[in-house]
């Protein structure tokens, strides 16, 4: 086998190579370099700004990020199902440009390339530690996995108030979009309502997990019907700017020996939410400490429990899904965090999910057990 271009046999040029400089990889590369390590970063478009909205729990933001990365916040966002349940926490939406400014790559050697799995493995000859942060959908890969899909519109706050009804944000409104008492055989979706940095409010109909995820057309139809029932129709919503979301919930491809996965590429992937960035930020310091100590990455953390949970969500009947999230709303704040946070240790996650199970009506709980445990 030939030696990849740029490899000096027997000489380790870099302490760490980070492949993929999206939000997660860039933050990690920045902090590794700030700790005095020699860092190589690889991405085909390292200067490209991020179009996606980055939201998550404020408490997960590390102290090294300046306060101005937070563009807007909402307190106690609600879960709505049989009742309305506030989640006692603060939700933040980031200013993406401020995050990029706070995570400059000045001290990182950047190469603009697309790397396949073999190229990533070969980087072990150029760096003591190699991190794969190519996201959940690395360039050059195909195939299909479960996706979260969503269709949202941006409206002025006075329009959104008809849906918010006094809440600062709604994380998930699981009530049927057409006003029906039950979902029946219709695959369920929820409404997400969140204030955005520019003062507008995002109203987004979301399919939590689907293989394939629900189409944009169907999500839009549901969103408009739901809003109409809240008294929002016609001119108030028809010309509004649109956000379309499609997030893979499981990373394709296997483990590359001796390479650590970071960000949506694996380690912080939360199949429940599809949102990974805040969990990635909270994990950065641990990886930097590991790199400073010169520890090589071990195998990825087992994601077994979350994969089983995703399997359950994909197989759950519509009304069992509704009951599951109603029970989630009634969990203690500590248990809610355990379910929401991607880095919750497996045992704590199991304990929180078991409690959620006991809060469901028996028949619905048995439906959940079947969906989760059966192949």
Q: Which residues bind ligand FAD (CB under 6 A)?
A: 19-25, 42-45, 52-56, 114-115, 133-135, 138-140, 243, 245, 247, 263-265, 274-278, 280
Question: Smaller CB distance to ligand FAD: residue 55 or 329?
Answer: 55
Q: What is the token pair recorded at 26?
A: 């860039």
Smallest distance, ligand FAD to C-beta of residue 364, A: 29
Q: What is the token pair recorded at 203?
A: 């109203």
How many whole angstroms separate alpha carbon 329 and alpha carbon 85? 5
Smallest distance, ligand FAD to C-beta of residue 113, A: 6
Smallest distance, ligand FAD to C-beta of residue 181, A: 31
Question: Smaller CB distance to ligand FAD: residue 133 or 313?
Answer: 133
Question: Smaller CB distance to ligand FAD: residue 306 or 355?
Answer: 306
Helices (H), the chain: 23-34, 96-102, 117-122, 157-164, 216-229, 277-292, 304-315, 318-329, 333-340, 346-358, 362-373
Question: Smaller CB distance to ligand FAD: residue 263 or 271?
Answer: 263
How many whole angstroms separate alpha carbon 353 and alpha carbon 328? 9
- Region of 33 (left: φ > 0; alpha: ψ -120 to 50; beta: rest) is alpha
Residues 6+ apart with CB under 8 A from 316: 324, 367, 368, 371
Q: What is the token pair recorded at 216?
A: 């944009």
Question: Smaller CB distance to ligand FAD: residue 74 or 371?
Answer: 74
Smallest distance, ligand FAD to C-beta of residue 44, A: 5
**140 and 184 Cβ atoms separated by less than 8 Å:** no
**138 and 19 Cβ atoms separated by less than 8 Å:** no
Smallest distance, ligand FAD to C-beta of residue 254, A: 15
Smallest distance, ligand FAD to C-beta of residue 248, A: 9
How many whole angstroms separate alpha carbon 23 and alpha carbon 103? 9
Question: Smaller CB distance to ligand FAD: residue 197 or 318?
Answer: 197
Question: Smaller CB distance to ligand FAD: residue 79 or 360?
Answer: 79
Smallest distance, ligand FAD to C-beta of residue 356, A: 22
Smallest distance, ligand FAD to C-beta of residue 84, A: 22
Q: Which residue is nearest to ligand FAD (CB)?
A: 22
Question: Smaller CB distance to ligand FAD: residue 19 or 208?
Answer: 19
Smallest distance, ligand FAD to C-beta of residue 352, A: 20
Smallest distance, ligand FAD to C-beta of residue 190, A: 15
Residue 256 burial (C-beta neighbours within 10 Å; 0-12, 13-18, 19+): middle
Question: Smaller CB distance to ligand FAD: residue 268 or 317?
Answer: 268
Q: What is the token pair recorded at 369?
A: 């057990």
How many whole angstroms separate alpha carbon 187 and alpha carbon 314? 10
**20 and 43 Cβ atoms separated by less than 8 Å:** yes
For tokens 């400014």, the residue is: 101
Instruction: Identify the DSSP state of 267.
Output: T
Residue 180 burial (C-beta neighbours within 10 Å; 0-12, 13-18, 19+): exposed
Question: Smaller CB distance to ligand FAD: residue 105 or 360?
Answer: 105
């Amino acid at each position: 086998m030939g030696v990849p271009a740029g490899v000096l046999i027997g000489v380790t040029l870099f302490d760490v190579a980070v492949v993929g400089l999206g939000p997660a990889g860039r933050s990690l590369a920045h902090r590794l370099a700030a700790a005095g390590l020699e860092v190589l970063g690889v991405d085909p478009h390292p200067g490209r700004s991020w179009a996606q909205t980055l939201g998550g729990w404020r408490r997960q933001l590390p102290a090294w990020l300046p306060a101005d990365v937070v563009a807007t916040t909402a307190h106690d966002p609600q879960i709505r199902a049989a009742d309305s349940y506030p989640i006692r926490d603060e939700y933040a939406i980031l200013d993406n440009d401020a995050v990029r400014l706070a995570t400059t790559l000045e001290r990182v050697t950047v190469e603009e390339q697309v790397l396949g799995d073999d190229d990533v493995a070969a980087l072990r000859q150029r760096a003591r530690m190699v991190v794969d942060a190519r996201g959940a959908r690395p360039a050059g890969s195909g195939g299909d996995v479960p996706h979260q899909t969503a269709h949202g519109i941006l409206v002025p706050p006075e329009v959104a108030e008809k849906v918010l009804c006094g809440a600062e944000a709604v994380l998930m409104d699981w009530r049927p979009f057409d006003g029906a008492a039950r979902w029946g055989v219709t695959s369920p979706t929820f409404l997400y309502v969140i204030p955005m940095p520019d003062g507008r409010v995002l109203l987004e109909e979301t399919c939590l997990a689907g293989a394939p995820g629900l189409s944009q057309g169907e999500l839009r139809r549901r969103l408009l019907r739901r809003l109409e029932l809240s008294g929002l129709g016609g001119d108030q919503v028809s010309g509004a700017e649109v956000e379309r979301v499609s997030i893979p919930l499981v990373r394709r491809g296997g483990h590359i020996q001796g390479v650590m996965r970071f960000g949506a590429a694996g380690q912080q992937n939360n199949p429940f939410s599809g949102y990974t960035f805040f969990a990635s930020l909270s994990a950065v310091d641990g990886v930097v400490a590991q790199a400073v100590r010169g520890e090589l990455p071990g195998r990825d953390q087992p994601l077994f429990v979350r994969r089983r949970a995703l399997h359950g969500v994909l197989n759950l009947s519509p009304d069992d899904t509704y009951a599951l999230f109603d029970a989630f709303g009634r969990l203690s704040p500590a248990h809610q965090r355990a379910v929401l946070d991607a880095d919750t240790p497996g045992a704590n996650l199991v304990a929180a999910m078991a409690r959620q199970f006991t809060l469901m009506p028996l028949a619905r709980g048995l439906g959940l057990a079947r969906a989760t445990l059966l192949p």
